[in-house]
């Protein structure tokens, strides 16, 4: 099941919050997209892993991806080591994405930066023939994505580029609100968290407005890159 873009998030809802507008936009262009969550988000203060699974399925349906998969690594306690890299490499070789979107290189939540490094290194090792994976006893062919882009999350990082998502922003918000256990719900009796207040939703809107302002768009999503980006001609840039 090869896809053009694989969006990876360490927690269910990372993708919706950070790059769902980009995914929805590219799906509208006919690109194939999948989502891979590294953990079930079981350490979250609100809700449960089972509830978040249902919310993740609802979010994926709103975005319109081909699939949503989960590696079920330990939330908070996964490591960037050979065992975890091999689990991820197996999925990279299964889905053969051309582009990877993944967590911020550094952020308030320590899982985000650690996941970014895990994904980046796994993408490199996935292209090495002598790195072996044998799911179901069948050896996989090596595969290395063409590009890795890190989405900007809670903390502001000066982006290397932004993607205009203005027409698709309402659907992005809809996908975020699929996580009723995590975000603003005036009827919820669960503990308040930094992301459960109405002010946090306003922050998400303001962040996307801020990212769009520099390119004259109403809303945009921001990314950093690991290597120099090449373009065919100057008119590819806006």
Q: Please report whether residue 14 resides in a domain.
A: yes
Q: Please report whether residue 208 resides in a domain.
A: yes
Q: Please report whether residue 51 resides in a domain.
A: yes
Which of 50, 119, 49 has its CA nearest to residue 78? 119
Q: Please report whether residue 233 resides in a domain.
A: no
Q: Please report whether residue 15 resides in a domain.
A: yes
Please answer whether residues 26 and 4 qualify as being in contact, where contact means their C-beta atoms are separated by less than 8 angstroms: yes
Domain count across the chain: 1
Q: Please report whether residue 192 resides in a domain.
A: yes
3-state secondary structure of 110: helix
**Domain hosting residue 45, numbered range:** 5-226
Question: What average pLDDT values come out for the chain (238 residues) when binned by 10 residues?
Answer: 97 98 98 98 94 97 98 98 98 98 97 98 98 90 98 96 98 96 88 91 96 97 94 87
Tokens of 162: 């932004």
Residue entry with tokens 């109403």: 218
Q: What is the pLDDT of residues 72-87, one digit of tens each?
A: 999 999 999 999 999 9
The Cα–Cα gap between 66 and 216 comes to 31
Q: What is the pLDDT of residues 83-121, one digit of tens each?
A: 999 999 999 999 999 999 999 999 999 999 999 999 999
Question: pTM for the whole thing?
Answer: 0.96
CATH code where residue 47 lies? 3.40.50.10320
Q: Please report whether residue 70 resides in a domain.
A: yes
Q: Please report whether residue 234 resides in a domain.
A: no
């Amino acid at each position: 099941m090869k896809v053009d873009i694989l969006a990876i998030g360490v927690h269910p809802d990372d993708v919706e919050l950070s790059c769902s507008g980009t995914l929805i936009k590219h799906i509208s262009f006919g690109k194939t997209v999948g989502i891979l969550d590294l953990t079930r988000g079981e350490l979250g203060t609100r809700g449960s892993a089972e509830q978040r699974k249902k919310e993740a399925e609802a979010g994926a349906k709103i975005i319109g991806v081909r699939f949503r998969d989960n590696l079920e690594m330990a939330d908070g306690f996964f490591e960037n080591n050979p065992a975890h890299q091999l689990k991820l490499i197996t999925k990279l070789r299964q889905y053969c994405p051309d582009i990877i979107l993944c967590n911020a290189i550094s952020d308030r939540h320590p899982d985000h930066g650690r996941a970014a490094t895990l994904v980046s290194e796994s993408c490199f090792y996935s292209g090495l023939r002598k790195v072996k994976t044998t799911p179901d006893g069948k050896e996989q062919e090596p595969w290395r994505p063409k590009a890795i882009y890190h989405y900007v999350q809670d903390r502001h990082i000066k982006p290397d580029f932004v993607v205009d998502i203005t027409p698709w922003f309402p659907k992005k918000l809809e996908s975020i609100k699929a996580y009723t256990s995590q975000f603003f719900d005036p009827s919820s009796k669960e503990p308040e968290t930094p992301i459960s207040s109405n002010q946090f939703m306003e922050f998400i809107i303001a962040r996307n407005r801020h990212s769009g302002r520099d390119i004259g768009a109403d809303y945009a999503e921001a990314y950093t890159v690991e290597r120099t980006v090449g373009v065919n001609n100057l008119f590819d840039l806006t």
